[in-house]
Amino acid sequence: MAKLFLLRHLLSQWNKDDRFNGWVDTPLAESQFRKAKELAKKIFQFKIDKIYCSILFRNMDTVARILEYDKKYPLFVHLDPGRMKDWGNFKDISQYDIPVYVTEKLNERYYGKLQGRSRAKLIKKYGAKKMHLWRRSFLIKPPGGESLKDTYDRTIPFYKKYIEKDLKKGKSVLVVASHNAARSTIKYIEKISDKDIIEVEVPYSGLIEYDFDKSLKLKKKKML
């Protein structure tokens, strides 16, 4: 039975400061390093065959810190076109190295003009209802940014091309993604409607285990 482990990254410093991250490449909050150990214990009780990750540093750092407790070193393999893909190649890895396939397709929704700004101040200016629609609805875009549909339209083709291919082979896959890439994946797997996806949230360091049969029919979902 194929398994997918879907993980939202650990709390970033801007998450802690209640600022919009989006595509701004911010670090993890220092307080999260103990949480990484807890996640490692949950994840590595299972055999993980493949790891995919957002190219944003908070996601890559989440992977690196989790792997510390499995005594592995991540080798980040770039899947997006460009020199990092063409030149960052390798042939041989040691028993302690593990490839981690990274892509911007698993990045957070681009929040446009909201990036870097205080959520509390924006709620005061625009109201909680409008802010909720900008952050969680499927079609409504924040000013200058992406809708969840836009995020879905880049995340799910990647999921089908790479992750579904591995799952069909019976592999266990760990995906570390930003929130709206994770929500897009959940929408696709669980067949959640455009209307109902607004209610779906994943907490920081939230970890979901999905079990699939050979035809990739969802058999079980579990929050770890």
| Number of neighbours of residue 47 by Cβ within 10 angstroms | 8
3-state secondary structure the chain: CEEEEEEECCCEHHHHCCECCCCCCCCECHHHHHHHHHHHHHHCCCCCCEEEEECCHHHHHHHHHHHHCCCCEEEEEECCCCHHHHHCCCCCCCCCEEEEEEEHHHCCCCCHHHCCCEHHHHHHHHCHHHHHHHHHCCCCCCCCCCCHHHHHHHHHHHHHHHHHHHHHCCCEEEEEECHHHHHHHHHHHHCCCCCHHHHCCCCCCCEEEEEECCCCCEEEEEEC
Residues paired with residue 5 on neighbouring β-strands, in sequence order: 174, 209
- At residue 32, the pLDDT reads 86
Once rounded to an integer, what is the mean pLDDT over residues 45-58? 96
What token pair was written down for 205? 């360091």
Q: Is 9 an annotated catalytic residue?
A: yes
- At residue 31, the pLDDT reads 82
Per annotation, catalytic residue among 78, 108, 164, 179 = 108
How high does pLDDT run on average in the chain? 95
- At residue 96, the pLDDT reads 86
- At residue 208, the pLDDT reads 98
- pLDDT band at residue 54 using 50, 70 and 90 as cut-offs: very high
- At residue 217, the pLDDT reads 94
Residue 215: CA count within 13 A, CB half-sphere: 1
pLDDT at 207 over 90: yes
| pLDDT tens, residue by residue, 29-44 | 988 888 999 999 999 9
Domain that holds residue 134: 2-223
- pLDDT band at residue 89 using 50, 70 and 90 as cut-offs: confident
pTM of the model: 0.95
Q: Is 78 an annotated catalytic residue?
A: no
pLDDT at 154 over 90: yes
The edge-to-edge listing of strands for the beta sheet with 97-103 is 73-78, 97-103, 50-54, 172-177, 2-8, 207-212, 218-223
pLDDT at 127 over 90: yes
What token pair was written down for 170? 């019976």
The CATH number given to whatever domain includes residue 125 is: 3.40.50.1240
Per annotation, catalytic residue among 9, 78, 146, 179 = 9
pLDDT at 70 over 90: no
Once rounded to an integer, what is the mean pLDDT over residues 146-169? 97
Once rounded to an integer, what is the mean pLDDT over residues 190-211? 97
pLDDT at 185 over 90: yes
Count how many domains the chain has.
1
Q: Do 100 and 77 touch, CB atoms closer than 8 A?
A: yes
Once rounded to an integer, what is the mean pLDDT over residues 116-139? 96
